[in-house]
Structure 1
Amino acid sequence: MIEAELKARVHDVAEVTRRLDARAAGRAEVYQDTYYDEPAGTLEKGDRELRVRTVRSTRADRAILTYKGARVDEASGSKPEHETRVEDPEAVHAMLRGLGYVPVIAFEKRCRNYEFQALGRPMLATVVTVPEIDGSFIELETQVGGDDLRAALRDIRAVLGELGVEDDDLTAELYTDAVRARRA
Structure 2
Amino acid sequence: MIEAELKARVHSPEAVMRALDSRAASRAEVYRDTYYDRPDRGLEKAGQELRVRTIHGTDETRTVLTYKGAAVDDDSGSKPEHETRVDDAEAVHAMLAGLGYVPVIAFEKRCRNYDLKARGRQMLATLVRVPELDGTFLELETLTEERELMEALADVRATLTDLGISEGDVTRELYTDAVRARRG
**TM-score, length of structure 1 as denominator length:** 0.99
Partner of 1:11: 11
**Cα deviations by residue, 1:88-140 (Å, 9 ceiling, x for unpaired):** 01100000000000000000000000001111100000000000111010000
CA distance in 1, matches of 2:157, 2:167: 8
CA distance in 1, matches of 2:51, 2:27: 22
**Cα deviations by residue, 1:52-97 (Å, 9 ceiling, x for unpaired):** 0000010111000000000011111100000000000110000000
Partner of 1:118: 118
Give the match's secondary structure for 2:47: coil
Q: Letter of the aligned partner of 1:146 in structure 2? A: E
Partner of 2:96: 96
1:51 equivalenced with 2:51 (yes/no)? yes
Give the match's secondary structure for 2:21: helix
CA distance in 2, matches of 1:16, 1:77: 23
Long gaps (5+) in structure 1: none
Q: Letter of the aligned partner of 2:42 in structure 1? A: T
Partner of 1:174: 174
Quote the offset at 1:18 in angstroms: 0.1
CA distance in 1, matches of 2:128, 2:55: 13
Give the match's secondary structure for 1:23: coil
Partner of 2:80: 80
CA distance in 2, matches of 1:80, 1:48: 10
Q: Letter of the aligned partner of 1:113 in structure 2? A: N
CA distance in 2, matches of 1:171, 1:59: 32
**TM-score, length of structure 2 as denominator length:** 0.99
Partner of 1:2: 2
RMSD: 0.4
Which ranges of 4 or more aligned residues in structure 1 deviate by more than 2 Å?
none
1:142 equivalenced with 2:142 (yes/no)? yes
Long gaps (5+) in structure 2: none
Q: Letter of the aligned partner of 2:134 in structure 1? A: D
Partner of 1:40: 40
CA distance in 2, matches of 1:12, 1:139: 15
Quote the offset at 1:153 in angstroms: 0.3
Partner of 1:70: 70
CA distance in 1, matches of 2:109, 2:146: 28
**Cα deviations by residue, 1:34-58 (Å, 9 ceiling, x for unpaired):** 0000000000000000000000010
